[in-house]
């Protein structure tokens, strides 16, 4: 498992397929700030709430210069269903082999109800215009997280 990212670190580069199978790279967003969030699974209650919150606030975020990318280990077909079912506007990327999740330290040991297992650690990384980590938030909650980001970023 990778070390957790810290502000000032260079954000790991990535290229992943979106819900339609098109390749999307972090470098495509150079010159803009990017909120990269990692979530466990499309079409689950918490992940749906979080994705809908980002979609509901997307205009505000993009207006403030932020692009939003959600990454999960789901395959593009499931992401397309998630996007269409929930009318999502955020870019959803598929990382089924978990390479990017691992590079961002968003995959690792989790504890739930006394059990320890490997899984996606709900995380949000804010990347600045130069590709450096501005904020690295791990073990975030699905509900209320987007409002907290907006407040913390002063938007």
Q: Which residues are catalytic?
A: 47
What phi and psi, each to the nearest 5 degrees, are found at residue 61? -65, -45
Kindly list the distances between the CA atom of residue 83 and the CA atoms of 13, 20, 32, 86, 140, in Å, as whole numbers in the listed order: 24, 10, 23, 6, 22
Would you say the C-alpha torsion 5, 122, 30, 19 has a positive or negative sign? positive
Q: How far is residue 71's CA from residue 96's CA, in Å, rounded to a whole number?
A: 10
**Alpha-helix residue ranges (DSSP H) falling in the chain:** 45-56, 58-63, 76-86, 99-103, 145-152
């Amino acid at each position: 498992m990778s070390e957790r990212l810290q502000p000032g670190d260079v954000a790991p580069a990535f290229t992943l397929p979106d819900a339609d199978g098109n390749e999307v790279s972090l470098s495509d967003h150079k010159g803009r700030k990017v909120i990269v969030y990692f979530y466990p699974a499309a079409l689950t209650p918490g992940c749906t709430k979080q994705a809908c919150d980002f979609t509901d606030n997307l205009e505000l975020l993009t207006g403030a210069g932020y692009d939003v990318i959600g990454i999960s280990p789901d395959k593009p077909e499931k992401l397309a269903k998630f996007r269409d079912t929930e009318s999502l506007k955020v870019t959803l990327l598929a990382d089924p082999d978990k390479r990017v999740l691992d590079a961002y330290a968003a995959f690792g040991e989790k504890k739930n109800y006394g059990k320890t297992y490997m899984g996606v650690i709900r995380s949000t990384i804010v990347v600045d215009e130069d590709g450096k980590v501005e904020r690295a938030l791990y073990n975030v909650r699905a509900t209320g997280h987007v409002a907290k980001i907006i407040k913390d970023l002063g938007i």
